Amino acid sequence: MRHVTDSLTKKEQATWKTFLTANVRLMEQLDHDLQTHSLISITDYEILEALAKAPDQKLRMSELADKVLVSRSRLTYRVDRLTNVDYIEREECEDDRRGLWATLTTQGSDILESARPNHTNDIRKWFFDNLDESETETVDRVLQRITQKLEANI
Task: Tell me if 109 is assigned to some domain.
Answer: yes
For the stretch 89-127, pLDDT in tens is 998 877 766 678 999 999 999 999 999 999 999 999 999
Query: What is the domain range of residue 38?
Result: 10-152
Q: Please give the pLDDT value at position 1.
A: 54
Q: Please give the pLDDT value at position 103.
A: 96
Task: Tell me if 1 is assigned to some domain.
Answer: no
Looking at the 3D structure of the chain, how many domains does it have? 1
Choice between 55 and 72, residue whose per-residue pLDDT is larger = 55
Task: Tell me if 98 is assigned to some domain.
Answer: yes
Q: Please give the pLDDT value at position 107.
A: 98
Task: Label residue 83 exposed, middle or buried (CB < 10 Å: 0-12, 13-18, 19+).
Answer: middle
CA distance 63 to 55: 12
Query: What number of H helices and E strands is found in the chain?
Result: 6, 3
Task: Tell me if 132 is assigned to some domain.
Answer: yes
Check pLDDT > 70 for residue 3.
Answer: no
Q: Please give the pLDDT value at position 100.
A: 87
Q: pLDDT averaged over the chain? A: 93
CATH number at residue 70: 1.10.10.10
Q: In percent, how much of the chain has pLDDT > 90? A: 80
What is the pLDDT averaged over residues 115-140?
97
Check pLDDT > 70 for residue 135.
Answer: yes
pTM: 0.87
Task: Tell me if 22 is assigned to some domain.
Answer: yes
Task: Tell me if 137 is assigned to some domain.
Answer: yes
Task: Tell me if 33 is assigned to some domain.
Answer: yes
- Grade residue 13 by pLDDT with cuts at 50, 70 and 90: very high
DSSP secondary structure of 56-100: GGEEEHHHHHHHHT--HHHHHHHHHHHHHTTSEEEEEETTEEEEE
Choice between 98 and 139, residue whose per-residue pLDDT is larger = 139
- Grade residue 62 by pLDDT with cuts at 50, 70 and 90: confident
Task: Tell me if 55 is assigned to some domain.
Answer: yes
